[in-house]
Structure 1
Amino acid sequence: MRLPWRKELGILERISNTGGLLYYLSPFQKLIYSGNLVAVVFFGVLPVGYVGGWFIVFWGIASFTNILAVTALERGTTSPVEGVRNLFLAFEAYFRATSVLWTKAKVPFLVTPKNEVDLGGWASVRQMRFALLIGGVSLLSVINIWISYFSFHYFNWRYLAPHSISTVLIISFFGLMEVTIISRAAWSMYHRSQERTLWRFPVRLETYVNGVLSQCVDLHQNGAGIITTEKALAVNPNIYVKIACRDLSGNVVWVGGQLRVRSKKPIEGTQESVRVGGRITWDSDEAKTAVIMQCYVVEQYVARQHFWLRHEKRRVVLLPAHIDGIDAECVDVSTSGASFVASAADWGKRQIGIRIPISVDDRFIGTAEIRNVTATSGEMMRIGAAVMWQNPYMLKIFSDSEKRDLKTRKAIAGGINP
């Protein structure tokens, strides 16, 4: 309270700081909210005077428009309940931190550990013990109100205060929503597996490995994961990579460095494609700075812009392709779309919106509707398309291999040799 309202601050600064302070007090708001559920269910105390059909109608409209507004403000990059989930994850830390409001004693504070792995398990779930307690109370409230409601209507016996069906439905909605959010968050924390000391940002960047076209699929300032071919790796044992990053103006900035391979695994469903991961020694500090800018600034903007454009995850591949009779390279694929890289001279003056026949690896055949064409480096074009495959079931091999990779990583993290 002392810092946000210091005399040295202007009125706008005080308002801004007050907003931040109130956010850190949100655990108390959540406790009052959960206390309301208990008060309504077990003591029959209603926070409003009327809970009838019209109340549900107007409350539903208000809740829907509120969720819609939040989703629009966040450009759809988070789910409508993401804020509630984040509050539960930080509940205990914020709750303990509020002690500084009424005491000048120094409170021990542990900085969030950096450069460490997180293999999930109960050690991670334990951070949500307060949230799990709230979830348990909410679930108990929902179960009891329904037991009391049915026992009164069918056996003329009750052990709680009488409740209307409107009250029962509202309590059930809010209670089960909290239980669902907390359960999913706890499940995610238990099963998460951050095995790297630095988080790698998922990207889709044009890359050259020893001069051969490839795709960078994840990146951070010390390393990368790249989809390439055995042929590219065989060119030179000293593997040199070039990655097309972008600056704040959208201009391409090529960065290069020596890749020291730490892992290599084949891409199932392909003969030549492999995924390599390792550490990169960049050519200069400027190159490393460009990578950091790509990861922490540019990529966040790209994610927000692309959220609305694609509803299906694409699997990165490197497969030979033919589009409308010209040679190309398929760089990602899904059951309803694909992207290609082809020579600008070969592509010619073909327009967006045309439908053309395509063939990928001589196995996946279909008709593509061209959605976008973007110039890349040199004389190459990146072509994105919605595809109607003749045999989409065959593409399942890519998603299956990805699921197996995930299970294998989790097994290794748990000390199991798959």
Structure 2
Amino acid sequence: MIPRGTVVSGPYAPIPSSVTRTSVRLGSWFQRHDGVARALAAVATVLGATYLVWRVIVTSTGVDPWLFWPLLAAEAVGYASFVIMVVETWRLPPTPRPPALDTTVDIVIATYNEELDIVEPTLIGALAVRGRTTVYLCDDGRRPEMRALTERLGAVYVTRPDNSHAKAGNINAVLPRLQGELLLVLDADHVAAPDILEAMTGYFADDRVALVQSAHSFRNHNSVMHHESGRHEQSLFFDVLLPGRNRLRSVFWCGSAAVIRLSALREVGGIATVTSTEDFETSLLLQKAGYTLLYHNEHLVQGLAPDNLAAYTVQRARWAEGTLSAFHWRLRMPFGRGVSASQKLSYVGTLLHYLTPVQRLTFAVYVVLVGAYGLVPVAMPGIEGVAFWAAWMLIAGLTATALHRGVTGRVEGVRSLMLSLEPHLRALPALITRRPMRFHVTPKNEPDLGGWEAVRFVRLPLIVALTLLAVLVARGVDTVGIALGGPAVLPPLSLGAFAVISVFSVLDIAVTVQLAVRAHRRRQHRTLWRFPVSLPARVEGLVGQCVDLHQRGAAVVVDRAAAEFATSVELEVECRSVTGGPATARGVLTITSRAAVGPSGARLRIGGPVVWHDDASRDSVSEHCYVVEPYQARNRVWTRRAPRVPVNLTAIVGASDSTCVDVSIGGAAFLTRSAEVALNQRVPIELMLDRGERVSGQLQVRNVTAVSGGLLRVGGVADWSHTAWLARYGAVVHTPGSRERARSQSLRSSRVPVSGR
């Protein structure tokens, strides 16, 4: 979780953490040194196997089998998880954008008790998705305000008589009404990017592809599971593991942000309803039917992460119970006929992930047995044995850091384990019992008041940490007493054994205490995330700058004269629409905070709730914050990282005839004679493609350079009206490598000429 006081500034660009530098500096270094990471992984895999063989042959002599084998089993489980992680993360392939299909897509948003402030941006985003779409809001809450919102925005409102099978039943109820070839499923809080279908529909040119999953990104960077802005606990899964699983064809549906072939879904009987994790279960049905499930490694939706530990625990408990129930000894869904060996390997890794708390508690029990009772479970051959164990631990940790590529650090991984310790343990009975499972919706848009109420959600890790601390203190006191000439109270213990239990205990104690302190100190009173923006604004007619914004509030920097004594002011904010055009939002800002800006104090930063004058203003704010800001921020990043493809296309920049000389998913460069182009200016652009097709957009000018012949070379960030056409001029590839490498990959895979004349 982000420490208290962390400031998130500037618009967040939703891109994979595995391709951008993070605060985990060592891991980020390995993003561009994959060969070193794989070499480490190979050495660690061999060393780990050697260590386990050594444990069996050398350290079992004379040891009580009831002590020896459970510990070895726990270590073997850890090694198996490590090997599966190595296989899955061995190589992260670039992410292509295959040519988009011109097909019909139904967008289904399932909701139950989410409030209007959550669902409204999701609907606005879905309606802004480019393509031939129909948007359905499936409301199991059957609320009049949701019907009114849906009808006002122009979507289709759907209800059903009951709420059987929760989300799965909600989607199944609307399936007979759907007419499209593909289905995009969105959770109620997941706002889609305008180009999500342009990025994902191309995969369905292969008739055996039934589902394409994309990443889940989260807009509330102050959530309980965020490590830093844009990087959170689930980044490892979406930015590293799933891209790697593409090679193994072991991707599964993650409940939202996925495009599904409707005919395939109907073939397997619709959304599965046996477990509470309908996404995982449905994925298994599709794979057993012979279909392929793929992952597209772009962040194309923005959702809400759990705001506090209470919501986090609800979410993790549901995931754990539903997933483990699929592994029930009578069902064994992931191991049935039709599931390939590579898929089974990944699903074993999933099972071991949920069993990790058992392994961790096993180690804790052994610390107590060794430290308090002197029951050593290994025949440790002196300092050499400790050194062998330490070498394996160190290289395994370094390898994990390398293959995680800056997405998560070693301590962060332990902290995440501590957070999920209790909910995962509570879910374990799902492996052997068939008790009915209730679908608990994760609470959203909640405050986090910290204090002891928050600390109680890490009570089990705290109990374990206090127990380990008591053992270490008791052993230390006993050692000091012996040194002072007193009698021994505890059984004797070798220095090597004490060193091993001390390393394990100190790490667990330190991480748990840090986790509890952070949980206690967290204070987040806002329920809606404020988006950092930089937009022209007017306060009582005076020019200002809007610096953060959402559909219920804003903060503006303005001259002191505009708001020094006022309690409320008229506010205008110049937002932007998805098409790049201006959209002015007008309302009344009630001032609840006021602070001087700068040393002179001539300007004030005022903030508070806003009541917008009309629905159009509120919709403009929602579209700008939830759709336009992340979409344009992502394009700005890919402008620098995605391949630029040389072209020669007739174009218009502003009102001047020009030539487009290179394009990318988020940028373009032109040769023009226009003298009216200035830095940071937004100008309309239009390209004439082959076969008479035209594409338009907006260019934010970033550089203007004079070239020969009296021409200007103008480049910048481009917001295209659609991006499907780009694939014809060279494959659009997102890669962690340099732009030069990306460009070479793009040009090698290009299959069409680049001239549009």
Normalising by structure 1, we get a TM-score of 0.59
Number of aligned residues: 304
1:178 and 2:512 matched: no
Question: Out of 526, 533, 536, which is 1:208 matched to?
Answer: 536
Deviation at 1:179, TM superposition (A): 1.4
Question: Out of 147, 155, 169, which is 2:477 matched to?
Answer: 147
1:152–1:172 Cα change, 3 Å:
same
Q: How does 1:263-278 map onto structure 2 within 5 Å?
A: 263-267=592-596, 270=599, 271=601, 272-278=603-609
1:110–1:237 Cα change, 3 Å:
same
Distance 1:285 1:113 in 2: 24
Distance 1:51 1:293 in 2: 62
Query: Is 79-88 or 69-78 further displaced after alignment?
Result: 69-78
Secondary structure, aligned partner of 1:196: coil
* 1:194 aligned partner: 524
Q: How does 1:209-248 map onto structure 2 within 5 Å?
A: 209-210=537-538, 212=543, 214=545, 216=547, 223-227=553-557, 229-230=559-560, 237-242=569-574
Map Cα deviations across residues 261-287 of structure 1 (whole Å, 9 max, x no partner).
Answer: 353321465411415244586748586
Q: Is the 8 A contact 1:207 1:215 kept in 2?
A: yes
Distance 1:75 1:231 in 2: 51
Distance 1:174 1:300 in 2: 41
Q: How does 1:1-400 map onto structure 2 within 5 Å?
A: 1=327, 2=331, 3-7=333-337, 9-50=339-380, 52-76=382-406, 78-108=408-438, 110-155=440-485, 157-200=487-530, 203=532, 205-210=533-538, 212=543, 214=545, 216=547, 223-227=553-557, 229-230=559-560, 237-242=569-574, 257-258=585-586, 260-262=588-590, 263-267=592-596, 270=599, 271=601, 272-279=603-610, 283=617, 288-289=622-623, 291-293=625-627, 375=702
Normalising by structure 2, we get a TM-score of 0.35
Distance 1:121 1:291 in 2: 31
Deviation at 1:111, TM superposition (A): 3.2
Deviation at 1:114, TM superposition (A): 1.8
Residue identity opposite 2:536 in structure 1:
Y
Map Cα deviations across residues 152-179 of structure 1 (whole Å, 9 max, x no partner).
Answer: 3442622222222233233222212211
Distance 1:71 1:95 in 2: 26
Secondary structure, aligned partner of 1:239: strand
Segments of structure 2 that go 5 or more residues without pairing to the other structure are 1-326, 638-677, 681-700, 704-713, 717-757
Distance 1:160 1:301 in 2: 64
Segments of structure 1 that go 5 or more residues without pairing to the other structure are 304-343, 347-373, 382-418
Distance 1:132 1:186 in 2: 8
Distance 1:253 1:95 in 2: 52
Deviation at 1:17, TM superposition (A): 3.0
Distance 1:133 1:300 in 2: 43
Distance 1:112 1:125 in 2: 19
Query: Is 148-157 or 133-142 further displaced after alignment?
Result: 148-157
1:40–1:197 Cα change, 3 Å:
same
1:113–1:67 Cα change, 3 Å:
same
1:128–1:345 Cα change, 3 Å:
closer
Map Cα deviations across residues 300-352 of structure 1 (whole Å, 9 max, x no partner).
Answer: 9999xxxxxxxxxxxxxxxxxxxxxxxxxxxxxxxxxxxxxxxx779xxxxxx
Distance 2:384 2:525 in 1: 52
1:277–1:287 Cα change, 3 Å:
closer
Map Cα deviations across residues 30-65 of structure 1 (whole Å, 9 max, x no partner).
Answer: 111111111211232334432643444444444444
Distance 2:571 2:466 in 1: 54
* 2:52 aligned partner: none
Query: Is 31-40 or 258-267 further displaced after alignment?
Result: 258-267
Q: Is the 8 A contact 1:51 1:166 kept in 2?
A: no
Distance 1:149 1:301 in 2: 62
Distance 1:34 1:149 in 2: 21
1:47–1:148 Cα change, 3 Å:
same
1:180–1:13 Cα change, 3 Å:
same
Q: Is the 8 A contact 2:575 2:621 kept in 1?
A: no
Q: Is the 8 A contact 1:51 1:167 kept in 2?
A: no
1:51–1:295 Cα change, 3 Å:
farther
Deviation at 1:85, TM superposition (A): 1.1
Which one scores higher on RCO, CA 8 angstroms, separation ≥ 6?
Answer: 2
Distance 1:121 1:44 in 2: 38
Distance 2:407 2:558 in 1: 30
Map Cα deviations across residues 183-240 of structure 1 (whole Å, 9 max, x no partner).
Answer: 1111111221121223446x4x4322239563635x6565555555546769x94322
Distance 1:60 1:156 in 2: 33
1:135–1:208 Cα change, 3 Å:
same
Distance 1:75 1:294 in 2: 29
1:224–1:181 Cα change, 3 Å:
farther
Distance 1:47 1:256 in 2: 71
Distance 2:580 2:526 in 1: 28
Map Cα deviations across residues 122-144 of structure 1 (whole Å, 9 max, x no partner).
Answer: 22111112111111111111112
Deviation at 1:109, TM superposition (A): 5.7
Q: Is the 8 A contact 2:576 2:620 kept in 1?
A: no
1:266–1:285 Cα change, 3 Å:
closer
Q: Is the 8 A contact 1:41 1:145 kept in 2?
A: yes
Secondary structure, aligned partner of 1:155: coil
Secondary structure, aligned partner of 1:208: strand
Distance 2:504 2:462 in 1: 15
Q: Is the 8 A contact 2:575 2:620 kept in 1?
A: no
> Between the two proteins, what is the percent identity of the paired residues?
27
